[in-house]
């Protein structure tokens, strides 16, 4: 999809900013609010849907603005009901997102970049390399498209920024997207996951309304963590933990630590005990994630057997931590944790 449309896209813009943009075209403030509600609350795809707006005003708005979402290029459904979405962007790049239905709720896994420069050695997105930051309309647009494609209503929507990219390397656009999403989804139902970008964590801490924070840990010591996650050389583990100990948490909230277990590298009971010592002073829970293997991109990393995974989780629980083993969904369609590529018909779509 190539798009040279010069009109401003209203998708991804918070309602107060939409109202300001529309001031020259509407004669009453409530009209601007109505239009913002159509875009944000009612998920409108064009101005003609706005039946409580006059035909002349709809035409005038259409001359100056547009309502455009990413294009669905592919929709692949897993045997477990998860759906992987391949979206086309206006510059020809592509991204992937995932929707996961479960027990009357829907979790949307959104991307924040077209690739990832962090380079974690167990993640396909990182192995493929860096891309560009997604704009607010491209971030919010993923949510809008998935929501419109629902075959049945759900009681609750959760959003996790665990798709392609490092969200905290795109704080400017992420912040705008969050303010827009908050109109439909409570901050307590949105999670931003990071590899430990310290300036981004500090930015998140400064917000008046904060989503939940998840941190990709993956090793209890600096040496192994920087081996798995090269970004840890720039943002060392001791500095990251110091920042997390001071991170402001609302009542009842905890920081989620994500820990990908890899055979013979970080899966021992002693490693679990070291993790517990590391995060003991932080209100936290741990998601233990069995590695999703990829023989093409990181053949050296293997998944531990189920007994080892359970033994690791039990050691964390015995140390007093809240633990969940996150058995990945969407494995059969490469939609699981660390598998998103943003590719279409075998061709990479990352920024050159």
Q: Give percent of the chain above pLDDT 90.
A: 80
Say which residues have a Cβ less than 8 Å from residue 35's Cβ, sequence separation at least 6.
10, 18, 22, 26, 50, 53, 61
Give the pLDDT score at 128: 73
Whether residue 139 is predicted with pLDDT greater than 80 in this model: the reply is yes
109 is catalytic: no
**Separation between Cα atoms, residue 338 and residue 327, nearest integer Å:** 13
Give the pLDDT score at 350: 32
Choose between 239 and 4: higher pLDDT.
Answer: 239
Give the pLDDT score at 316: 98
Residue 145's nearest CA partner among 96, 182, 193 is 96
Give the pLDDT score at 351: 34
Within 10 A of 254 (CB to CB), how many other CB atoms are there?
14
Give the pLDDT score at 352: 27
What are the angstrom distances between the C-alpha of 60 and each of 6, 22, 54, 55, 157?
A: 15, 11, 10, 9, 34
Give the pLDDT score at 83: 93
* 198-206 vs 237-245: helix crossing angle, rounded to 10: 10
Residue 81's nearest CA partner among 65, 105, 61, 63 is 105
17 is catalytic: no
Radius of gyration of the chain (CA): 21
Least confident of 63-67, 191-195, 217-221, 328-332: 328-332
Residue 334 corresponds to which tokens in the numbers above?
A: 């490469």
Q: How do 190-194 and 212-216 pair as beta strands?
A: parallel
Whether residue 1 is predicted with pLDDT greater than 90 in this model: the reply is no
Say which residues have a Cβ less than 8 Å from residue 217's Cβ, sequence separation at least 6.
225, 257, 258, 259, 275, 279
**Separation between Cα atoms, residue 305 and residue 290, nearest integer Å:** 9
**∠ CA 134-202-238, rounded to 5°:** 115
Specify the pTM: 0.92
Band (28; pLDDT cuts 50, 70, 90) = confident
Residue 167's nearest CA partner among 211, 226, 208, 218 is 211
Helix, strand, coil distribution of the chain in percent, nearest 5: 35, 20, 45
- Say which of 74, 116, 337, 352 is annotated catalytic: 337
Span 32-48, pLDDT tens digits: 889 999 999 999 999 99
Give the pLDDT score at 343: 57
Within 10 A of 188 (CB to CB), how many other CB atoms are there?
14
Residue 71 corresponds to which tokens in the numbers above?
A: 């294009």
Average model confidence (pLDDT) for the chain? 91
Cβ–Cβ under 8 Å, residues 129 and 115: yes
Q: Which alpha helices (H) appear in 81-189, and where do they start and end?
A: 124-128, 136-148, 171-181
Phi-psi region of 115 (alpha: psi -120 to 50; beta: other; left: phi over 0): beta
Residue 213 corresponds to which tokens in the numbers above?
A: 């924070």
Domains, the chain, with CATH or none: 8-66 (1.10.150.530), 71-333 (3.20.20.70)
Cβ–Cβ under 8 Å, residues 181 and 190: yes
Whether residue 255 is predicted with pLDDT greater than 50 in this model: the reply is yes
Give the pLDDT score at 130: 82
Choose between 78 and 309: higher pLDDT.
Answer: 309
**∠ CA 274-278-279, rounded to 5°:** 125
Taking the alpha carbons at both ends of the chain, their separation in whole angstroms is 18
**Separation between Cα atoms, residue 227 and residue 213, nearest integer Å:** 23
Band (225; pLDDT cuts 50, 70, 90) = very high
Span 93-120, pLDDT tens digits: 999 999 999 888 999 999 999 999 999 9
Give the pLDDT score at 5: 87
Residue 59 corresponds to which tokens in the numbers above?
A: 């035409």
- Say which of 96, 166, 258, 293 is annotated catalytic: 96
Residue 189 corresponds to which tokens in the numbers above?
A: 């139902």
């Amino acid at each position: 999809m190539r798009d040279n449309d010069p009109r401003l896209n209203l998708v991804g813009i918070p309602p107060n900013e939409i109202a300001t943009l529309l001031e020259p075209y509407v004669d009453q403030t409530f009209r601007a609010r109505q239009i913002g509600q159509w875009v944000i609350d009612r998920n409108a795809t064009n101005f003609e849907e706005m039946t409580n707006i006059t035909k002349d005003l709809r035409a005038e708005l259409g001359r100056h603005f547009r309502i455009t979402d990413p294009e669905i290029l592919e929709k692949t459904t897993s045997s477990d009901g998860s759906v992987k979405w391949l979206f086309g962007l206006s510059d020809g790049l592509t991204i992937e997102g995932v929707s996961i239905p479960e027990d009357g709720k829907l979790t949307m896994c959104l991307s924040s970049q077209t690739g990832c420069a962090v380079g974690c050695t167990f993640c396909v997105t990182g192995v493929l390399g860096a891309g560009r930051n997604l704009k607010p309309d491209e971030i919010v647009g993923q949510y809008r498209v998935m929501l419109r494609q629902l075959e049945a209503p759900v009681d609750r929507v959760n959003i996790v920024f665990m798709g392609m990219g490092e969200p905290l390397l795109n704080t400017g656009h992420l912040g705008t997207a969050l303010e827009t999403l908050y109109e439909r989804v409570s901050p307590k139902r949105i999670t931003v996951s990071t590899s430990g970008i310290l300036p981004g964590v500090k930015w998140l801490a400064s917000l008046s309304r904060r989503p939940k924070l998840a941190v990709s840990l993956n090793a209890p010591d600096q040496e192994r963590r920087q081996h798995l996650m090269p970004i840890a050389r720039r943002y060392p583990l001791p500095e990251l933990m110091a920042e997390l100990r001071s991170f402001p948490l609302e009542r009842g909230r905890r920081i989620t630590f994500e820990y990908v277990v890899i055979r013979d590298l970080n899966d021992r009971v002693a490693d679990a005990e070291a993790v517990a010592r590391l995060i003991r002073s932080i209100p936290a829970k741990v998601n233990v994630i069995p590695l999703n293997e990829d023989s093409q991109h990181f053949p050296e990393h293997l998944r531990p057997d189920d007994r080892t995974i359970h033994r690791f989780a039990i050691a964390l629980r015995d140390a007093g931590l809240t633990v969940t083993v996150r058995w990945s969904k969407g494995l059969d369609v490469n939609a699981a944790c660390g598998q998103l590529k943003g590719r279409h018909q075998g061709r990479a779509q990352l920024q050159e």
